[in-house]
Amino acid sequence: MDAQDLKQYIRDVPDFPKEGILFRDISPLLLNSEAVAAAAEAIAAPFRDQGIERVLGIESRGFIFGAPVAQALGAGLVLVRKPGKLPWKTHQVSYALEYGEDTLEMHTDAIEPGQRVLIVDDLIATGGTAAATLELARRCEADVAAAAFLIELEFLNGRSQLDSNVHAVLKY
Ligand code: AMP
């Protein structure tokens, strides 16, 4: 399956979760195992020869693609989670939302200094979530290869929030 054919499995849902937001729903894609495999392959492809040692999957849809991407690259998977979910010692980074703020956490022993890492999520919108994850990676002195996404909402210019390489398979 060609990566660009994956767009047919993304469902557009107007006004979710609130008025004015066009939600890009990956649920139809997840129903198709070939589409999931092709999506993971397309996310991982540019990094096959880059010595990636850790993939950081961002809760929760980033876990879905982070796991097969980590397998494809022969890397370990790190869970970047909402507060209070991780049982061990954590680094925490808070970031601004439209209203209020949110926090992400990662285990302090998930990345060794200098390890080469790839950040993975399903979608980049404003870039705030990925920027916070980049900050978590840097707290561990990671060598960040890139942040990689299945979908980029280009009009929001989220990649300008990231001082790293950015890879996106499908652009809207
Ligand atoms: P952001 O921090 O603004 O880049 O938001 C990224 C996160 O919010 C991702 O984990 C997405 O799953 C989710 N998200 C934001 N906007 C959308 C959208 N229009 N459709 C689907 N998911 C979205």
Map out the domains of the chain as residue ranges. 48-171
Q: How confident is the model at residue 160 (pLDDT cuts 50, 70, 90)?
A: very high
Write out the two tokens for 84. Answer: 């209070």
C-alpha span between 83 and 68 (Å, rounded):
24
Ligand 1 midpoint to CA 125 (Å): 5
| CATH of the domain spanning 48-171 | 3.40.50.2020
Task: Report the pLDDT value the prediction gives residue 149, as an integer from 0 to 100.
Answer: 98
Ligand 1 midpoint to CA 152 (Å): 9
Task: Report the pLDDT value the prediction gives residue 98, as an integer from 0 to 100.
Answer: 78
Q: Of 132, 134, 125, 119, nearest to 159 (Cα)?
A: 125
Ligand 1 atom 18: residue of nearest CA: 23
The atom of ligand 1 lying closest to the CA of 62 is 10
C-alpha span between 136 and 114 (Å, rounded):
14
Task: Report the pLDDT value the prediction gives residue 51, as an integer from 0 to 100.
Answer: 98
| Mean of pLDDT over the chain | 97
Note the pTM of the prediction, 2 decimals: 0.98
Ligand 1 midpoint to CA 105 (Å): 18
Per-residue pLDDT at 99 exceeds 90 = no
Per-residue pLDDT at 97 exceeds 90 = no
Mean pLDDT of the region 68-78: 98
**Residue type (1 letter), 104:** L
